Amino acid sequence: MNTSNLTITRKRGGWIVREKTTRKQVNQGILRLRKEALDFIDNLINKESQIKPSNLMFKSEYKKFADERWDIASNPTLQLTFGGAQAYVSDWNKRIEPLFDDCLLSDFKYDQMSSFIIKCHKAGAKFKTLSRMVRNIKAFLNVMAERGNRPCLDMLKYDITKQWEVVPNVHEERYEKKTNIIDEKQLGDMILNLQKSKDKDFQSAYKFALISTLFLFGLRRGEIKGRKIKDVDFDNSILTINSVYIQKEGGLLKRTKNRGSFRNIDVDDNGLMFFNWWINTVKKYKPNTDWLYPSFRGEAPISDSGFTNILWSTLAEYGFAKIHKHNGHIVVDESPFKNAVSKMFRHRLGTTLINAMDYEKLDRNYVKKTLGHTRFTTSQDVYGNHNTVVAKSTTATKGRLLNSKLIS
């Protein structure tokens, strides 16, 4: 029996243990207390860990597993992103390989995990990084169990929030994003001013188009770079996000970050007017390109350096950064958004949408879909922790901070 497939549920005022997939009851009768049901599972886990102990070593098997994940991510037809695979590889390179004291797969238990987490924490790993690594190790152990490699599943009971040595004292410090977000009025003023000069030349048009797209549609950098003109569907009023452009991987189009990132974003009439203007502008200056956000030189998508140069030059123009140029590249001397310039606009939108749920007709599905998340809890954890006060807005696009008339 695969104990990782067990769960507890209420029945007739008591508790039972079921298999998640078949919903079949495992225990006899009804247990009076929830603790009795949990103890029942614990006993099964202990019995399972004592049967046919594996002679495989933890580190060698994890390395194989991480490499396997990476190979799967390299296949665009399979549902594992490079971001997800990179997490396993990063855990191996930065923590497991140098810091973990190797042991048999069947001997990797709660105590080994606990001491390993403390060692990683002392080496500088943050709580959020450690939490993710724990999830990855549990996923690894479950796969090993499914393959009949008999790991000790005792570690599945490990809860990092009870590891007091590594848990920050303040709850917000565990999950709060450090990304600073721009003030709503300042952002509104900047977009309005950019709109006034958008038809001056291609660079002025690009500044307005890029910042408007980043905020109003919540796109990630790779999603913007991966958009083609055909992705704007004027007949159905949607913007399709089905790929990202990764310059570091040879300029290839890859599938989106996760299945939630693959999405169709609703575009209202003003948004369609904006895209109509921008596509005509692109065709005027770059008549042979298929990309919605092309490079200033050549026919490829905008480069990473071109992307950040536009953002920083614009932010500097409006007093949000101090910059200088070195060998043709912008160097940022000072800015509250220095570590996450493109994410800052996305965080602004995400925070606005979550705050707007109380007074706009917004549901969780709309918020997570707009931001490209699989679960609303991700949207809430990432963008719901900014300590900001967002004024009520009467937006035409379901709670976006700025009225989309700004971009018409």
Kind of pairing, strands 6-11 and 14-19?
A: antiparallel
At residue 236, the pLDDT reads 92
Q: Among candidates 62, 145, 57, which has minimal Cα distance to 107?
A: 57
From CA 370, how far away is CA 242, in angstroms rounded? 13
Dihedral angle over CA of 128, 173, 125, 60, nearest 10: -20
Number of H helices, E strands in the chain: 15, 9
| 133-145 average pLDDT score | 89
Q: H or E stretch including 19?
A: strand 14-19
Banded model confidence at residue 201, pLDDT cuts 50, 70, 90: very high
SS3 154: helix
H-assigned helices in 147-268: 171-175, 184-196, 202-217, 221-225
For residue 105, is it left (φ>0), alpha (ψ between -120 and 50) or beta?
alpha
At residue 91, the pLDDT reads 92
Burial of 201 (0-12, 13-18, 19+ CB in 10 A): exposed
For residue 394, is it left (φ>0), alpha (ψ between -120 and 50) or beta?
beta
> Residue 117: is its pLDDT beyond 80?
yes
What is the 8-class DSSP label of residue 323? E
Q: Mean pLDDT, the chain, as a whole number?
A: 77
For residue 285, count other CB atoms closer than 10 A to its CB: 14
pTM over 0.75: no
Terminal CA-to-CA distance of the chain, rounded, Å?
60
HSE at residue 9, side-chain half, CA atoms within 13 A, is 10
Angle between helical axes of 341-356 and 304-317 (0-180°, round to 10):
70
Structure tokens at 397: 């696009």
At residue 401, the pLDDT reads 39
Sign of CA dihedral 350, 356, 362, 364: positive
Q: Which residues, in sequence order, are CB contacts of 3 under 8 Å at separation 6+?
A: 41, 44, 45, 48, 145, 153, 156
User: What digits encode the pLDDT tens for the residues 147-176?
Assistant: 877 787 777 778 888 888 888 876 545 555
At residue 269, the pLDDT reads 86
> With contact defined as beta carbons under 8 Å apart, do 220 and 346 qualify?
yes
